[in-house]
Structure 1
Amino acid sequence: MKILHVADNLVMGGRERRLLELIKGLIAQQHDIVLVLFRDAIHYKEIHDLPVKLIILKKRFRFDALIYFQLFKICKENKPDLIHSWGGVPSVFSGLAAYVCRKKMVNGMIANSECKPFTMDWNRSRLSFPFSDVIVSNSRIGLKAYGVSRKRGIVITNGFNTKRLAVEYDNVNTLKELDIHNKQLIVGMVASINWRKDYPTFIRAALRVLEQDTNMCFVIVGDGDDRQAIEQMIPIEQMKYFRFLGNRQDVDRFISVFHMGVLASFAEGISNSIMEYMAFGKPVVASDVDGNRELVETNKSAFLVKVGDDETMANKILELFRNDKLASEMGQRGRQIILERLTEEQMTRNYLNLYNKLLDYEAMDN
């Protein structure tokens, strides 16, 4: 089978990570991959080491009509069995190309849990959905938010590549790099620093924790437009308890030294960050939003707290640090959930079954 994947870029992000893992899984199953990117922005450099035909189309502006004609030509020349789009703009152009080339179209633009009328996401969904044979979301709340019917929509959750767990990290050197001594407890949050994530609540919770216990360090992996504003929330005398690492490709190395993972946000689909915390056996404290409820087992693998409730978030962080048995049990249960239900192999199989169904091929065994 030959699949044409179309995405905007391969920068650090949950959707891009999911695309990369799926491509690797499809290659392992001996399928041919053509990957078209609209921007030459590639943080996941390993794509260059894979047997993938990579084509980069440079847009002159957001809705550059020339992109459609280039994509149409690529479709004609490469003759894929189907097209799978990732993101709003790629889905609009892919839908048109699939329609003209008479190819099956998998629309994978839904990766969030909110879609307000007349926003850019809403407009793109209205332009691309009519040309899509199936619309995929990684969460039930995502399909609901975009108003996708059960007949046309399907949920395929993220898949974690368990091979990442086999890597041995030098935690001593990682702690040295972070300037953290061995006895400090580390709270980590891996997320872009922008309006989608509730960093103000995380910072306020951290400051509350430090009022009761200063044997802590809060590590933030990610970057974004709001970083300066978030850093300014921290009093100068408390900055020594925080580490801002920016965007990193070696995220696993830092998660391995976390004692727990936090994700404060306003809305989520299925969070890659929470999946990574769970896979590495870390207990989780996260915002109580729809996608997180789908992913974790509340009070068994994670504590979920009301959005914006920094006091409860701080209390849950302290509770985990004061109860080693509870923290260990929650971490182990989270890891078990990943290994049982959310592996890269399972995600690949689910996508292949979808592709086969669209193309009237025989489905794979579960």
Structure 2
Amino acid sequence: MTIHDKTSNNAAEIPCDNKRFNIVMVDSHGSVERGGAVQCASLARALARRGHRVTCIFDGEPDQPMEGVWFQSLQNAGVRIRRLGLQSLAGMMQLRRLMAEEHPDVLHTHKNRALFCAYFATLGMRRPVWAANRGTVYPLSQSRLAYFIHRRHVARIFAVADAVRDALVADGIAGEKVEVVYGSFDPDRFRPEVSGAGMRRAWQLPEGVPVVGLIGSLNTPKKGQPVLLEAAALLKDRYPELRFVLVGEGDSGALQTMATSLGVSDRVVFAGFTEDVPAALAAIDIVVCASLRGEGLTGALREALAMARPVISSDVAGNRELVIDNSTGLLVPPGDPPALADAISRMLRDAELAQGCAARGRELVLELCTEEKRAARAEGIYRELLLS
């Protein structure tokens, strides 16, 4: 595969006219910190910047504050933001009233909580064009209600990777209903010029030491942090200066105990959660994804490639669509610490490989995954549905 094989996602192919849409997005999260919530907010913001009227609804009590950089960014872009209790009858009735008042052209839901709320809120109503995001390769049919709604009422499923599309089709979803729309990044934030020096100082790392890092929630076992710790133990004699950083929210107690038992506690930094992901990536020399299962396409990989960082990923789900082995990064089997250790060693020893992968990886995600290109692709799909 070359980096030009995926031209179907190129925004230049989407026909454009002056029609502006009224779009209601419903997200299953109550905060915008990572994963699907960030991707919903990113798309909403980019569509608003293209001139569309966008309302973004998040879970929670209506009077609950909406604080943080993403909520402010949405408001700055002209996105109207609201909270509704997506699992409550009151929240469903509020969404029903909003839909009746707004008469949106497009309803776009993100994850099942939003999907179910939108379904029950609009029973008996004339629904707008309905698009739904799908970000995992787990069988959709594991939820009978979600499967029914996607098959009978959703007009298009936005799959975040070819692997997700393939999983949906294998699960009985008609292929023509599924579009691959990669997640996006903001090229103004995620760029190689960002400095990681301040983050390294915050992590109290010795100056000049090589750093391997993994960005992912510690609350999610599938992110595979123990695999990286075992790889660190295998590398400790070969690379005594090498340091490892785990970035992400959650209780690190069990992982710290594991690091101690492996004899690497002095080489591992548990950095906690940070909103300044670009600076964290800039501070890391090699970015690792050690996910074990269930991923659609790991967002930290897309952002690391945008920063021109060398990446190593477990070969799960759609990760191989951006991490092309020996071209834009290295792939290893999931749950295989020796293979991960060997890949890290190879990247450390071969500067030409690391630099080449980083450069080609950035080129690929600039081609496929910028916010503007994702918004243009979504806009084109909405337009196609509205004209059909």
Q: Same fold (TM over 0.5)?
A: yes
Deviates more, 1:164-173 or 1:135-144: 164-173
Question: 2 CA distance for matches of 1:277 and 1:165?
Answer: 8
1:100 correspondence with 2:121: no
Task: Note the 1:252-271 alignment, pairs <5 A.
Answer: 252-267=278-293, 268-271=295-298
Amino acid at match of 1:224: G
CA distance in 2, matches of 1:208, 1:122: 44
Distance 1:313 1:166 in 2: 26
SS of equivalent to 2:158: strand
Displacement after TM superposition at 1:99 (Å): 5.3
1:12 aligned partner: 33
Contact persistence 2:22–2:106 (CA under 8 A): yes
Instruction: Please tell me the residue identity of whatever aligns with 2:282.
Output: S
Q: Which residue of 1 aligns with 2:16?
A: none
- For 1:150, give the aligned amino acid: G
Amino acid in the other structure paired with 1:265: S
8 A Cα contact 1:104 1:358, kept in partner: no
Distance 1:342 1:242 in 2: 31
**1:77 to 2:101 alignment:** yes
Cα offset for 1:170?
Answer: 4.4
Tell me the alpha carbon deviations over residues 211-267 of structure 1, each in whole angstroms, 9 at most, x when there is no partner. Answer: 321211111111236x32222210175322111122211111110121110001123
Matched, 1:317 2:344: yes
Distance 2:140 2:232 in 1: 32
- Matches of 2:226 and 2:191, distance apart in 1: 35
Equivalent residue number for residue 91 of structure 1: 115
Q: Deviations over 1:122-158 (max 9, x none)?
A: 5433345422111211112223334222121111111
- Structure 1: which amino acid aligns with 2:118? S
- Asked whether 1:186 is paired with 2:211, we answer yes
For 2:248, the aligned partner's letter is G
For each residue in 1:58-114, what CA deviation from the matched residue of structure 2 results, as whole angstroms up to 9, or x when unmatched?
35xxx4233221110111122211110011011122134455332334342411121
Q: Report the alpha carbon displacement of residue 169 of structure 1 after superposing the two structures with TM.
A: 4.1
Kept in 1, the 8 Å contact 2:44–2:56? The answer is no
Shift of 1:167: 8.5
Q: 1:132 aligns with which of 148, 151, 154?
A: 154
CA distance in 2, matches of 1:153, 1:295: 20
2:59 to 27, 31, 38: 38
What secondary structure sits across from 1:151 in the alignment? Answer: helix
Counterpart CA distance in 1 for 2:288 and 2:195 is 23
Aligned-partner SS, 2:346: helix
What is the distance in 1 between the residues matched to 2:356 and 2:199? 25
- What's the secondary structure of 1:212's corresponding residue? coil
Q: Are 1:260 and 1:277, in contact at CA under 8 Å, matched by a contact in 2?
A: no
SS in 2 for 1:101: coil
* Contact 1:95–1:132 under 8 Å retained in 2: no
Q: 2:138 aligns with which of 103, 114, 139?
A: 114
Cα separation, partners in 2 of 1:105 and 1:240, compared to 1, 3 Å: farther
Query: Counterpart of 1:306 in structure 2: which amino acid?
Result: P
SS of equivalent residue, structure 1 residue 299: coil
Identity %: 23
Partner letter of residue 49 of structure 2?
Answer: A
Structure 2: where are the runs of 5+ without partners? 1-20
Letter in 1 for 2:380: N
Q: Is the 8 A contact 2:132 2:154 kept in 1?
A: no
CA distance in 2: counterparts of 1:220 and 1:91, whole angstroms: 33
Task: Report the equivalent of 1:332.
Answer: 359
Matched, 1:239 2:265: yes
Question: 1:175/1:80 Cα in 2 relative to 1: closer, same or farther (>3 Å)?
Answer: same
Is 1:149 matched with 2:174? yes
Cα deviation for residue 357 of structure 1 reads 1.0
Amino acid aligned to 1:184: V
SS in 2 for 1:154: strand
**Once the 2 structures are TM-superposed, how far is the Cα of residue 185 of structure 1 from its aligned partner?**
0.4
Query: Hey, what's the Cα distance between the residues in 2 that align with 1:95 and 1:159?
Result: 27
Q: Which moved more, 1:48-57 or 1:166-175?
A: 166-175
Inter-partner Cα distance in structure 2 for 1:22 and 1:116 = 23
Q: Aligned AA for 1:56? A: R
Pick from 240, 255, 261: which aligns with 1:214? 240
Distance 1:122 1:176 in 2: 50
Please state how far the C-alpha of 1:311 moved relative to its aligned partner: 0.3
> How many equivalent pairs are there?
355
**Deviation of residue 42 (structure 1)?**
5.7
Alignment partner, residue 23 of structure 2: 3
User: Secondary structure of 1:252's match?
Assistant: helix
Gaps of 5+ in 1: 362-366
Paired AA for residue 92 in structure 1: F
Partners of 2:26 and 2:282 in 1: CA distance: 32
State whether structure 2 residue 81 is matched by structure 1 residue 54: yes
Matched residue, 2:4: none
1:85 is aligned with what amino acid? Answer: T
Q: Does 1:171 align with 2:196?
A: yes
Q: Following the alignment from structure 2 to structure 1, what is the Cα–Cα distance between the partners of residues 230 and 177?
A: 42
Return the alpha-carbon distance in structure 1 between the equivalents of residues 123 and 382 of structure 2.
17
Q: Please state whether the residue corresponding to 1:218 is helix, strand or coil.
A: strand
* SS at 2:305 equivalent: helix
